[in-house]
Structure 1
Amino acid sequence: GNEAVMKALEASGTLLLEEAHAHKYPYDWRTKKPVIVRATAQWFASVEGFRDEALACIREVQWIPAVGENRITAMTEGRSDWCISRQRTWGVPIPVFYDTTSGEPLMDEKTIDHVRKIVAEKGTDAWFYMELEDLLPEEYKHLAPTLRKGTDTMDVWFDSGSSWASVVEERGLSQGAADLYLEGSDQHRGWFQSSLLTSVASRGQAPYKKVLTHGFVLDEKGYKMSKSLGNVVDPRLVIEGGKDKKAAPAYGADVLRLWVASVDYTTDVCIGDNIIKQTFESYRKVRGTVRYLLGNLSDYDPAVDAVPYEELPAVDRYCLSKLAALEAECSAAFASFQFYRVFQALSTFNTSFLSTFYLDMAKDRLYIRDKTSFARRSCQTTLDAILTALMAIVAPILPHMAEDAFQSLPYKAATGAESVFQRGWAASPAEWASFPEEEVGTWDAVLEVREKVNKVMEAARNAKLIGAGLEAKVVVHCEEEALATRLAAMTEETPAGVDELRYVLLVSQVAVVGEASEVGAVCGEHTAEAETLECGRGQVTVGVAPAAGQKCERCWNYSVRVGECAEHPTLCERCSPVVISLPNAPTPVTAA
């Protein structure tokens, strides 16, 4: 074609210049061959008549993230007429008949209604296999010899864009609008928009109340996945593993779901072997906590053994206040579809509070105290509350873990539920969140002091002053008088022996002194520099010295009272009564 034009121009003397020019040209993405563009007759749907109404409906929808509203608004404002016909041999047919001579179309309310009834009974294929005369209503059958069936099919976006009619409207759900449409960000131009246009045009309302869009899944290095690059992550391989389970272990569906919940889907997200391994470690930590809780509730029945909230030790009520805050945060995050916030809050609570503090200090109450003692039962009451909350929080994300934990409960659920999903969300009692702010602040300060004590004890271990933490005596000075008074009160023995500072710090003895210099006088070089607490409660100075007394062979605490019990001379004042009360108590030691 180009050569013929050039020859004609040259022959007429009008060719001024000939040169090669590179220009963009469409290529088929499958065959990699150039596409021939030609004009053909098509069916169009005009959006001009209801564009403003569609824009008004967009403003009534909640878009997640909010930038989605700007995207679909701009696309709808600039939307041209919609070409709804396609030249394919499969799909939903456009029910139109053409005059074989003039090509004039025949499609009116009568023909459409007749074909609609046929399709409702026999499906869309009826258009292709039924005789033309049978597809015409009675009053038009005489025209059959002069007509032919149309071969165009409907744009698939019109198909999916009208799915609300059968999924929602015909079922009478949600006032004709779906609660949520969920898809990738590219669907502002596709499904979200086609659904909006068909719904607004036919009934004047949006087909959805909320629309959530997510980014694309990329490989671990941030590249688009492609079979040719070999970087596609197969979900089934993550769940079931490969042939070599060492190289490609089976992580299970929960781990893949946890990865989905952990990422901020508002942007593109990455996945790969290392990312899945990290997710699996997070999964193992949560599962480990759940197993710990179940193991320590094996002899607990809340109907018999639960301790009323108002009787719980302060540390338990502090823990429940943290749990109530976690539930509130996760509930709000679920409601706003911010699943990564659930993951972050749960991980922080599990690792920074439960594992490093509450469950650690709970071991003494669970393993050392008498089986039915107040100290142990109050701790189990708190553990049961934690387990109940964790099962509810993780159930939408880790359903298999949650159900496994529920079926392993040592007691029947009070609600009679036979599944964690029948039990529902475990909303915490209002009293849990009513723990006084002053008390919360004090316990927050105690945890900060605990962190500083741990640093000093680690240095003391490296210096070979102590081995285990229970070999230590800790000396503390607090600049703030109110905090010092509270910590001093926690060094005194209590009947329950729960809120004592030595159990919180996991050492054998604690002394609170009035002057910072006294810390150095007792602990010498194993005294840390004074540090300011981040909670705003002034400076603290801590030091470590060897604990006084002997080591109890049962609880490993050091006490000057080891040996007071003649029957059990190697036990401390706490352990000897417990051992004596055991049904199969060891034979007492007798003097020679």
Structure 2
Amino acid sequence: RELEVLGDVKGKELVGLTYEHPLRQNVTCPVVAGGDYITTESGTGLVHTAPGHGQEDYVVGMREKLEMVSPVDDAGRFTAEAVDGQLEGMSVLTDGNEACIKMALENGALLLEEPYAHKYPYDWRTKKPTIFRCTEQWFASVDGFRERALDAIKDDVAWVPASGEKRIHNMVEGRADWCISRQRVWGVPIPVFYEADTREPVLDDEIIRAVQQLFREKGSDSWFEMQADEILPEKYRGRGLVKGTDTMDVWFDSGCSWAAVSDSRDSLNFPADLYLEGSDQHRGWFQSSLLTSVASRGEAPYRRVLTHGFVLDEKGIKMSKSIGNVVDPMEIIAGGPNKKTHPAYGADVLRLWVASADYSNDVLIGPGILKQIADSYRKLRNTLRYLIGNTSDFDPKRDGLPLDQLPALDRYMLGSLARVAADAQKAYDEFQFVRVYQLLLRFATVDLSNFYLDIAKDRLYIAAPSAARRRSCQTVLALLLQDITVLLAPILPHMAEDVYQALPATRACAEPSSLFEHGWLDSDALHRELWSSGADEHGKLEQTWKEIRAARDVVNRCMELARSEKTIGASLDAKVRIYVPTSANAMVEALSSLRGGRLGATDEVDSLSSVFIASDVEVVTDEELVRECRHVVADESDGPTKGMVVGVDRAEGTKCERCWCIDPAVGS
């Protein structure tokens, strides 16, 4: 249909005019200014406003004093109010919609009808379009205690993560009155009675106390099972009062859980130590609990609130039965029908995955992720198995050495253990389980397996059973085993208990016992006390070994070069020469603290050959002596090894069949 443009007019120039209702005769309606939700980018900028059928429209209707008409019943059908009864009984979304179009055409009010795509709200569960209606509800005002609630959020509660404070503060600060009524077939009823004719509510303290006593004796279902006069106090009976059918908002219901649980039981505390739930609960349980508690008790119902993200599948997609991407925790623990594709990982691996996830954001889970976590679990378990195996003949009371007499390497490792334990304790206190996971996994793999235990093999396997250098190492291993097991226990309780039951001291006990009966780490343990009291000394020791470990990395690189070219096989086949420029004072001092020379010529733990696991190691002051070696690595990084030059040749001498060290003295 061709249309002729007669002129242009701005929307604000129409405000205040009236127009004829397109479906009802002799009815005029005003043109009013809308809100920010009306734009020219989405639609025409000219919209129909129905105050009884939309929140934004309701606000505009209240402002402009428009009539609140909502001619739709509970079944989604038009009532007699709609177009003077002409649409009564018709479905709003089907035949009623078609009837409206037909009437508009007949009245000459509709210029064009055509389908087009636009946004419309759908119910997430039924996947059907929704209908908004203005209905009578019960509200609780928050104005009387809003400021006290905001003060409690800021001053009385610790939020984990800290961003949760701002999130809930903004919600409480800007929230409207709380609609506490719902129209459900079952729930906690709102104890209101109504006059049968006028629908005026009847409610006072006496009625509330009567209902309260009834619920205490028979439960809230009695509201639905009994007649009104059976519930009401004597003076209200016989008046024909009708029970209300509204139920309480479930968030009000759950928001009172602090009163029914922590505030009502002697074994619990009020306020609660911790509330934890998903991040969506700033709008739900956290807020409803806060508001009910502040309103009735003047304080928050919790001291700390922890929020976490949601669990998504491996691709970051929300889990859904219809999609088929739901990960079943029991299948992770016990395995699926096909154990090759869905192996049984056990509860500890599932718990380790939880600890490994940064719950401040949404977390992912799937076969690939679980496989990685299982690998981490095996690394931790194998490290503990190694510690158990090498302390099987060790009795700390009988064989342990005084800690202040241990070699520098062993004292350094005990200091590192004390630091890791302190950091893990702090992380536990702050609910940073991912930090605990990272600390312990790194300590087990980098500090123990790749460094300390690698060096310790010579002492543990070659030295006499009661040799001082072996007992020194076992003293450290026993303390490592003790502390790591306890630190892992909250995350991996089954593995920790397995380790505890395998300890010689546990097996020797006459009565069965559990790790979880022995409490947390002993803060007064001697190795922790020495570490904390000698912080300056340990700081120097830690810096020294930081330099030595950096040098060890360069030596290992040079050994790998020699190994790739078949000059050596095992690292004990190597003779190492190291040059450090005089400008690298810290490195020079660190390497000077260890004895140089052949490994077979000394039992000292603090020796270069022991730390680098080479048959012969020497630090030289002439760079050319290093350059003469068959394999040379010059470090040019900006770190502590800058300017270091390492050379590797095959060691001179004969290989010892017992310790595999190559030395000219073997066989002589």
Tell me if 1:449 matches 2:551. Answer: yes
Cα 1:301/1:88, change in 2 over 3 Å: same
Q: Give, in angstroms, the shift of residue 562 of structure 1.
A: 1.9
The alignment partner of 1:49 has SS state of coil
1:462 partner amino acid: S
Q: Distance in 2 between matches of 1:548 and 1:485?
A: 28
Tell me if 1:28 matches 2:120. Answer: no
From 294, 308, 315, the equivalent of 2:388 is 294
| Paired residues, number | 558
1:526 partner amino acid: H
Cα 1:7/1:429, change in 2 over 3 Å: closer
The match for 1:226 is 320
Q: Give, in angstroms, the shift of residue 517 of structure 1.
A: 1.0
Tell me if 1:129 matches 2:230. Answer: no
Q: Distance in 2 between matches of 1:526 and 1:388?
A: 42
The match for 2:83 is none
1:527 partner amino acid: V
Q: Give, in angstroms, the shift of residue 151 of structure 1.
A: 2.1
The alignment partner of 1:205 has SS state of coil
Q: Distance in 2 between matches of 1:88 and 1:69?
A: 33
Tell me if 1:69 matches 2:165. Answer: yes
From 653, 656, 662, the equivalent of 1:549 is 653
The match for 1:459 is 561
1:247 partner amino acid: T
The equivalences for 1:351-390 within 5 A come to 351-390=445-484
From 160, 165, 183, the equivalent of 2:259 is 165
Q: Distance in 2 between matches of 1:4 and 1:530?
A: 85
1:205 partner amino acid: E
- Alignment deviations for residues 83-142 of structure 1 (CA, whole Å, 9 cap, x no partner): 2112222211222222223323222222212221222222222222234333223x43x5
Cα 1:75/1:501, change in 2 over 3 Å: same
The match for 2:666 is 562
Q: Give, in angstroms, the shift of residue 163 of structure 1.
A: 0.6
Q: Give, in angstroms, the shift of residue 174 of structure 1.
A: 7.1
The alignment partner of 1:429 has SS state of helix
From 491, 495, 519, the equivalent of 2:596 is 491
Tell me if 1:501 matches 2:608. Answer: yes
Cα 1:509/1:22, change in 2 over 3 Å: closer
The equivalences for 1:217-296 within 5 A come to 217-296=311-390
The match for 2:276 is 182
2:626 partner amino acid: V
Q: Give, in angstroms, the shift of residue 3 of structure 1.
A: 5.7
Cα 1:245/1:324, change in 2 over 3 Å: same
The match for 2:216 is 120
The match for 2:196 is 100
Q: Distance in 2 between matches of 1:25 and 1:531?
A: 64
1:498 partner amino acid: V
- Does the 8 Å CA contact 1:477/1:514 hold for their aligned counterparts? yes
What 5-or-longer segments of structure 1 have no aligned partner? 565-592
The match for 2:137 is 42
- Does the 8 Å CA contact 2:415/2:538 hold for their aligned counterparts? no
Report which of the two has the higher share of helix.
1
2:192 partner amino acid: V
Larger radius of gyration: 2
* Identity score, percent: 54
- Alignment deviations for residues 481-501 of structure 1 (CA, whole Å, 9 cap, x no partner): 674465355126897521121
The equivalences for 1:334-349 within 5 A come to 334-349=428-443
- Does the 8 Å CA contact 2:349/2:374 hold for their aligned counterparts? yes
- Alignment deviations for residues 344-371 of structure 1 (CA, whole Å, 9 cap, x no partner): 1112212111111101111111111111
From 184, 203, 209, the equivalent of 2:297 is 203
Q: Distance in 1 between matches of 2:103 and 2:608?
A: 102
The alignment partner of 2:609 has SS state of helix
Tell me if 1:408 matches 2:471. Answer: no
- Does the 8 Å CA contact 1:532/1:540 hold for their aligned counterparts? no
Cα 1:412/1:8, change in 2 over 3 Å: closer
Q: Distance in 1 between matches of 2:309 and 2:198?
A: 50
The match for 1:513 is 620
Q: Distance in 1 between matches of 2:638 and 2:570?
A: 26
Tell me if 1:146 matches 2:248. Answer: no
Cα 1:534/1:96, change in 2 over 3 Å: same
Cα 1:263/1:482, change in 2 over 3 Å: closer
- Alignment deviations for residues 37-79 of structure 1 (CA, whole Å, 9 cap, x no partner): 3333322111122222221221122222222122212211221
Cα 1:413/1:69, change in 2 over 3 Å: farther
- Alignment deviations for residues 545-587 of structure 1 (CA, whole Å, 9 cap, x no partner): 11122111111111222235xxxxxxxxxxxxxxxxxxxxxxx
From 556, 573, 576, the equivalent of 1:471 is 573
The match for 1:431 is 530
2:567 partner amino acid: L
- Does the 8 Å CA contact 2:415/2:528 hold for their aligned counterparts? no
Cα 1:411/1:6, change in 2 over 3 Å: closer
1:511 partner amino acid: E
Q: Distance in 2 between matches of 1:338 and 1:65?
A: 10
2:377 partner amino acid: Y
The two structures have a TM-score, normalised by structure 2, of 0.79
From 68, 77, 81, the equivalent of 2:177 is 81
Name whichever of 128-137 and 271-280 sits farther off: 128-137
1:102 partner amino acid: T
Q: Give, in angstroms, the shift of residue 417 of structure 1.
A: 9.8
The alignment partner of 1:169 has SS state of coil
The two structures have a TM-score, normalised by structure 1, of 0.88
- Alignment deviations for residues 236-281 of structure 1 (CA, whole Å, 9 cap, x no partner): 1111101121111011111111111112111111111101101111
The alignment partner of 1:249 has SS state of coil
Q: Distance in 1 between matches of 2:103 and 2:577?
A: 104
Cα 1:499/1:121, change in 2 over 3 Å: same
- Does the 8 Å CA contact 1:533/1:540 hold for their aligned counterparts? no
- Does the 8 Å CA contact 2:531/2:538 hold for their aligned counterparts? no
- Alignment deviations for residues 360-407 of structure 1 (CA, whole Å, 9 cap, x no partner): 111111111111111111111101111111112111111111111111
Q: Distance in 2 between matches of 1:239 and 1:560?
A: 56
Q: Distance in 1 between matches of 2:315 and 2:376?
A: 21
2:549 partner amino acid: L
Q: Distance in 1 between matches of 2:205 and 2:107?
A: 57
From 426, 443, 447, the equivalent of 1:332 is 426
Q: Give, in angstroms, the shift of residue 452 of structure 1.
A: 1.0
- Does the 8 Å CA contact 1:445/1:533 hold for their aligned counterparts? no
Cα 1:47/1:417, change in 2 over 3 Å: farther
What 5-or-longer segments of structure 2 have no aligned partner? 1-95
